[in-house]
Amino acid sequence: MVKLIIDSFSERYISRWFIFAFDTFLVVFTLWLSALIQNNFVTGNLVSGAFFLHLRFVFFIYAGAFLFFRTFSGIVRQTSLSDAFAAFKAITWGFVIILVLVVISHRVETTPGSWPSYPVLTLQYLLLLVSLIGSRFVVKSVYNRITHVPLKKEIGVVIYGAGTAGVLTKNTLYEDKEYHYKVIAFIDDNPYLAYKTLEGIPIVSYFVTLRPSFIKRHNVKQLIISIPSLYPERKKEIIESCLNLGIQVKVVPALNLWIHGQLNAHQLERVKIEELLQRDPILIDSKNVFRELKNKVILITGAAGSIGSELARQVLTHAPKRVVLLDQGESAIYALQYELNNSSERRVNSHLIEFLVANVKDRLRMTSIMDIYRPDIIFHAAAYKHVPLMEENPYEALMVNVFGTKIMADLALKFEAEKFVMISTDKAVNPTNIMGASKRIAEMYIQSLANGKTRFVTTRFGNVLGSNGSVVPLFRKQIEHGGPVTITDKEITRYFMTIQEACSLVLEAGAMGKGDDIFVFDMGEAVKIYDLAVKMIQLYGFKPEVDIKIKETGLRSGEKLFEELLLTNSENLLPTPHPKIMRARVSGLTYKEVSKFIDELTALIIEEDEFQIVRKMKEIVPEFVSNNSVFQVLDKKA
C-alpha cells in the first residue's frame, strides 16, 4: 500500500508555469520584506504608491531574467548544482541590470523616490537568492525523505574513492527507490583525506575499513569502487580482500556509459571474474601489426565467433583496405554486421567490410570468394571446438577442422595469399579427444605447406574467458538461476586468457611469422575450475555451498584434468621478440606424407565408419590417447 502511494506520488510533476509564478511571487515578497526591514518593521513608513512603483520596476526585470535563463524548466525534486547555478545567474543578472538602470536614472535626475534605494535592492537580492535556491533544495530533501521509505532491509555500503565520482555514487544510492542504502564510509588511499568527512560521511583508510571488526560492527554488505581508472593490481587486491570478508563488490561504469550523463543505481556493475584473473597488460608492437595489415585485404573465417569477431574489431583499427568477414551462422554474422555498421567509435565505412554467410567445407563457394576478394592475409578461426559434442560427431569435427582448414590453406596457395594464420588450441597437444586430434592434424597439414609462396603460421593458446560455450558464461547463468554450479571434477585445471589479449597476440604472432611457425602464448598459471566457481559465486554476493551449491558431475567424454601447451618430447621453445609469445619447433611430416593420410581419411569419411575414422586419426597423431570415451577400446587394442 505504501509503495503504491509513493509510486503514484512520484509520477506527478508540478507545472513549470506554476514554478515561474512561485518565483515571481518570491520577487514580490522579498522586495516587500526588504523595504519593511529598512523601515524597522514600521508599515506606516511604507508609501504604498512608491512601493508599487518600485515593485513593478523590479518585478518585470527579474521575471524577464527568469524567462531568459529558464529557471522554471527544471524538475524541482531533482534540483542539481547546475539548476542552482542557473538560478544564481538569473538573479544576479537581474540585480545588475536594476543597479545599472538606477545609477543611470539618478544621474539624469528623474522623479525622486521613484527608484528603490541601494540597501533595499541589495537586501532583496540576497533574500531572493536564498529563498529561490533554498526552496528548491528543501523540496528535493522533503521529497527524498517521503519517497525513500525503507521498504527493504538497510544495506550498509562503503565507497572506494572520495572524489567527485564517489559523491555522485553516494547521491545515486540515496535516490534509489528499490533498496535502502546507507553509506557507512568513504575509502581513499590519499593520506591527507584520512579522518576528514565528505558530506557528513567519514573518510577512512583501506586498512581500517576492510577489517572484520569494522565490517561486523557496521554490517557492511557492499563495497562500490567509484574510481574507473583504478590500477588492475589494486583493484584485484581490493576484490580479493572483500571476497574473503564476504562483501559483494560493485563497480561504477566509465563516464561515457552513464545514461544521458546521469548515473543510475542499476548501472553499478558486478565485478567480472575476468578482472580477478587479469594479468599485467600485454604490450603489443602496434607499429609492426599496422605495417602488416595496412592497405591489405583481410579475410577472417569464423568471424562471428568470440575470437573471430574480436579479431575483426582489432583488424579494423589498423587501416586495412578491405575486411571480409565469413561465417556459417546467419544470426551471428548479422549481429556482428549490426554492431560494426553502427559503431560510431570505429566509424566503419560500409564499403570497407563484406559480411558473408558461407561454410569453409564448401570448396566451390570458398573458391569463388577467394577469386572475388583475393585476400592478402587470412585469419582462419572457423572451427568446431566443443570437446564432448565433437566426441559424438567425429565426422563433423574432421570435415570442418581438418578438411575445412585444408580447403582454405590450398586456396591460400592457389590465389597467392601473403599469409595464412590458423587459430589452434592447447587441446591439440597430447590430445585425448576428437576435437584436439582434428586440430593437431590441421596443424600438421599447415606445417607441410611451408615451402610455398604463402607463409603459414599457427597460433596455439588455451581457453578464452567469456567465449561462447566457455565455463564463465555457463557458471554465470547457473548462479543467476540459483544454482547448482556444475563442475566436472574438483581437480580439473585450465589455462585462461581474455579474448582481447588472445586476439592481440594472434595479430602480433601473425605479423612476426615467417612460415612453418607454431607460436605458443604465455597463458600464465593454470586455474583450478573449482576455485573459479567459488569466486564467481562470491562475486554475486552468495556463499558457496550455502546459498549456491557446487555439484561435481564427472569428466565428460574426451576431457582430461590438465591441458598442456607443448608436446614435451618433440617440441622445443624458442624465444621471440615478444615476451608473451614463444616459437615451438615441431618435427612435422612432409606434404606427401600428410596428404597420404588425409586421402585415407577422405575414403573413410565416405564410408562413415566412426571407429575406422578415429583409428586412422590415432595413426596420424600417435600421441592421441582417448580419455573417458567410447574410442578408448582402440587404444587398448593397440
- Active site (catalytic) residues: 427
How does DSSP classify residue 371?
H
Residue of 83, 93, 37 whose CA lies nearest to 63: 93
DSSP string, 494-552: E-EEEHHHHHHHHHHHHHH--SSEEEEE---S-EEHHHHHHHHHHHTT--BTTTB-EEE
- CA angle centred on 439, ends 433 and 441, rounded to 5°: 100
Residue of 199, 194, 202 whose CA lies nearest to 174: 199
Taken in order 327, 330, 331, 337, the sign of the CA dihedral is: positive
Q: 463: buried, middle or exposed (CB in 10 Å: 19+, 13-18, 0-12)?
A: buried
Query: What distance in Å separates the CA atoms of residue 317 and residue 571, rounded to the nearest whole number?
Result: 35
Residue of 107, 81, 94, 80 whose CA lies nearest to 26: 94
- CA angle centred on 557, ends 555 and 558, rounded to 5°: 95
Residue of 224, 236, 237 whose CA lies nearest to 160: 224
Looking only at the bridges linking them, the beta strands covering 581-586 and 201-204 are unpaired
Q: Which residues contact 429 (CB under 8 A, 6 or more apart)?
A: 436, 440, 460, 563, 564, 565, 566, 567
Taken in order 102, 104, 107, 109, the sign of the CA dihedral is: negative
Report whether 168 contacts 80 (CB < 8 A). Answer: no
Query: What distance in Å separates the CA atoms of residue 195 and residue 508, rounded to the nearest whole number?
Result: 49
Q: What single letter denotes the amino acid at residue 509?
A: A
Q: Which residues contact 303 (CB under 8 A, 6 or more apart)?
A: 309, 311, 312, 325, 326, 327, 333, 336, 381
- CA angle centred on 590, ends 586 and 593, rounded to 5°: 120
Q: Which three cell numbers stand for residue 125?
A: 537580492
Chain-centroid distance, C-alpha 571: 38
Query: What distance in Å separates the CA atoms of residue 340 and residue 353, rounded to the nearest whole number?
Result: 9
How does DSSP classify residue 72?
T
Report whether 583 contacts 574 (CB < 8 A). Answer: yes
